[in-house]
Amino acid sequence: MAEIDIKLISIIISMPKNEKGERDKKDKKDDKKDDKKDSDKKDRDRDRDRDRDQKDRDRDQKDRDRDQKDRDRDQKEKYREQRERERMERRERREKRERALRDRVDKMIKTEKGDKKNDFYEQIIGRIVSENRTNLIEKFVGEGEFRRLVNDMQVKFHLTKNSLIGLGTSCIAFKIDTNGKKEVLKICSKKIKYFNYAREDKSPYQLQKRIEPLSHVLLPINKIVHDGKGFFVYTQDCCQPLTEATLIGPAEYNAILTIVQALLSNHLLVGQIKPKNVGYVMINGQRRLVLFDYHSMHELSRRIRSKDQWWSSLTKSLTMYANLLYAYQNKEVQFARTGKKEQKRTNMHIQEKYRSQAIPVPMKRFFEDLKKANPLTLDLRKMNDLLEKSKVPLPPGTHSLIGPAPPAPPPPTDDFPPWPQILEHPIP
């Protein structure tokens, strides 16, 4: 009986403890669930607040972007209006200057009318004015030196109005016959880019000496006839310029690239290598392609420093020749001409039909290097290699239009003549 009572007492004592433990466990589970619910709710609230804040920030950013676009649009409109005003002002100034020059020319011709000595000069001035050559009017008309020069050249080379073959932006060209040899006589103003950028003596003799190493790509100066204060006169071999009917094939295209390579190798630049400045000439019985008008030539480093987009004219010229060649290769002869209208039609046609296929990949890299170049990081060897890779193979039976380069001058030597012997005793 005593043992049974003890068991009953232990059971009775243990029962509340088990229930209390289970109740505690249950309370803990409930607390954990509540804590988890509270945590999830806080997370959801935090995420909702974050999303709301992000939406507000995005909305503010869109508003700022919209305002910035409006400001950019207004700025572009103001810039466009400013450019239009500047264009109109330049046009008014140009027209006013042209009217003044025309009045001066008419007055000058009227005062000199009847003077037989100035008949040829009047014809030249009349041709310049009739063709509205603004650059020549500013540089040539009314200059006493030019008047005397024209009269002297007329007498010396028997010039007539039929001798005039071309009017440029800074020179006048006449055809002459020197001892049975056909040559071109050029009367040039010294207000050209080469003399503007020249550091040394601004004389045609210095220009003649500068182009001697490039005589295979630049038409040499045969003889300098006159070197004055504002004008100079020289002669060149007669050549056949590229005309509107000229087709740009592989030989012409490679020759243009070789001309650019030679100029870059000598640290020179002629940006606008237009067809009117390039022509065929016969050298030793071989037909060659040369650049005969290089008055805009200047030192490469000085050009880079003087203008931001100094490469734009060169890239436009090479792009034009690449488009003309691509049209020629695709047998679209009507688009492969060198005329000004044909060039515009070619560029539009190639861009619409072939996109960027006309320009070789090495030439694109050449353009990119030009845009990033500066006088300190200019790698001319790399650029010439890219131009070399841009060339196309010549068809069978076609010869190169570039002649061999002239021999390089002998390198300077360190050998000095012997010094005079020093006498031990002075001569009495």
Dump pLDDT digits (tens) for 182-241: 899 999 998 888 887 766 667 888 888 888 889 899 999 999 999 988 899 999 999 888
pTM metric for this prediction: 0.68
CATH 1.10.510 is the classification of domain 242-406: yes
Mean pLDDT of 173-183: 88
Q: Which pLDDT does position 261 carry in this prediction? A: 92
The pLDDT confidence band at residue 307, using thresholds 50, 70 and 90, is confident
Q: Which pLDDT does position 288 carry in this prediction? A: 92
How far CA 63 is from CA of 71, 278, 286, in Å, comes to: 12, 56, 70
Which carries the bigger pLDDT value, residue 256 or residue 16? 256
Q: DSSP letter string over 409-424?
A: PPPP----PPPPPPPS
Asked if 328 and 309 count as a contact pair (C-beta separation under 8 A), the reply is no
Token output for 291: 């650049």
Token output for 92: 């008014």
Angle of helix 250-265 versus helix 380-390 axis, rounded to 10? 180
The pLDDT confidence band at residue 144, using thresholds 50, 70 and 90, is confident
CATH 1.10.1760 is the classification of domain 118-237: no
